[in-house]
Amino acid sequence: MELLHSTVFNSMVGRLFLAASQKGLVALEFDCRLPGQQTIRPNPRDVRKENATNEKRKFSFETSPAKTQPYVRELEEYFAGGRREFGVALDLRGTDFQIACWRALLKIPYGETRTYADIARAVGKPNAFRAVGLANNRNPIAIVVPCHRVIASDGTLCGYGGGLDVKRKLLELEGALSGTLAA
């Protein structure tokens, strides 16, 4: 069983759960998740499901503020408006297509947005915008892998694991809201 170092961080968008392996950040999740939303950790709201799920997990967690401090520090700087790019190592885990999508998200500059169709073209699958949406939905490292920077083709906000209010706050923080996004 793999040991992941974890902590909970209070941010301007709520509590965030961080987990890191020896290679880098594995997960950055919103504490308040929607039912059925993918998570690396057990759902504390359903103990019976948590116990059944734990038996299938391939990792355990150790609360470790010292080992997660570099991630927390960069998040604090980001939320304070002083960090535009994250420098921490990432340990992306997913299918080849998901990882390609997540790497494309990492190329979206701070303060800018892209559409699902833009990301589909960036990964060489121009008609796979729905699959890109599913890959975004499965992004285990919110904020750092900036799926909040992806919007609908008509310029409106759509789908976000932390909720549209959180997506709006993150885009406001980055100065990316304008036109229909600000409406």
Does 159 fall in a domain? yes
Q: Which of 32, 101, 147, 158 is catalytic?
A: 147
Whether 67 and 104 share a structural domain? no
Does 87 fall in a domain? no
Domains in the chain: how many in total?
2
Confidence of residue 36 (pLDDT cuts 50, 70, 90): low
Tell me which of 79, 110, 126 is where a domain ends. 79
* Residues spanned by the domain of 74: 2-79
Q: What is the pLDDT of residue 56?
A: 54
- Here the CATH number for the domain that contains residue 66 is 3.30.160
- Does 101 participate in catalysis according to the annotation? no
Does 65 fall in a domain? yes
**pTM for this one?**
0.86
User: 70: which DSSP letter?
Assistant: H
Does 43 fall in a domain? yes
Nearest by Cα to 101 from 71, 74, 140, 75 = 140
Q: Which residues pair with 86 in a beta bridge?
A: none
